[in-house]
Amino acid sequence: MTPTEAMAKHNLIVTDSFIAFSRSRNRNNNDRSLNWSVSLVRLIRERNGMELGEPDRKVIMVTDYSAGIGHIPKFEYSNRTLDYSRYINQVCETGIAAVNPRVSMYKLIHLHPKPEDVLYSLLSDSEVLNYRGFEDWASSMGYDTDSRKAEAIYKACMKTALELSQEIKQAEMAELREAFQDY
């Protein structure tokens, strides 16, 4: 089963809202990024055995999600001019990119994260539950076990894992992990 098929089977979708870089959690970082607030949502198609007309939506979790500027369409490392730098800054602030910017007529598109990328990230974070504790996790992930930053990352991963496990059953999680194992 592919990741897309697994998400459909378990009625999972991702919704997003763009966050300007200057207002994001990454604003103090020198590297520009695309940032969103994302929601993992389960579509509920029936209730008490009765099929619903329009599916209800149950929000499983809301979190921040970021992607590097390599996710901006037509990004080319060899084209780092001042104008291109301004373009990157503008896209990171607006979430709107120009497709085929070298042509006189180009199309503007709103950028969205791939739902599969978002769920893969959440599933990866939730792997923290497979470790005996912080030291075991930090050693395995290559972090210093005496690092406050590493401990903060561990706690954020644990929060994600616990939120997911409250709404997604173990059998579903296992099926999702299997679908995403080669992602």
Q: Where are the domains of the chain?
A: 3-180
Number of Cα atoms under 13 Å in the Cβ half of residue 125: 23
Per-residue pLDDT at 30: 86
| DSSP 8-state class, residue 104 | S
Neighbours of 91 (CB within 10 A): 21
Among the residues of 57-132, which ranges form H helices?
A: 82-94, 115-126
Per-residue pLDDT at 107: 76
pTM: 0.86
Q: Distance between terminal CA atoms of the chain?
A: 12
pLDDT, tens digit only, all 183 positions of the chain: 999 999 999 999 999 999 999 999 999 988 999 999 999 999 987 766 666 667 789 999 999 999 999 898 875 555 555 577 888 999 999 999 877 655 556 678 899 999 999 999 999 999 999 999 999 999 999 999 999 999 999 999 999 999 999 999 999 999 999 999 999
Neighbours of 28 (CB within 10 A): 6
- Tell me the C-alpha distance between 69 and 132, whole Å: 35
Nearest to 62 by CA among 150, 139, 163: 163
Per-residue pLDDT at 175: 96
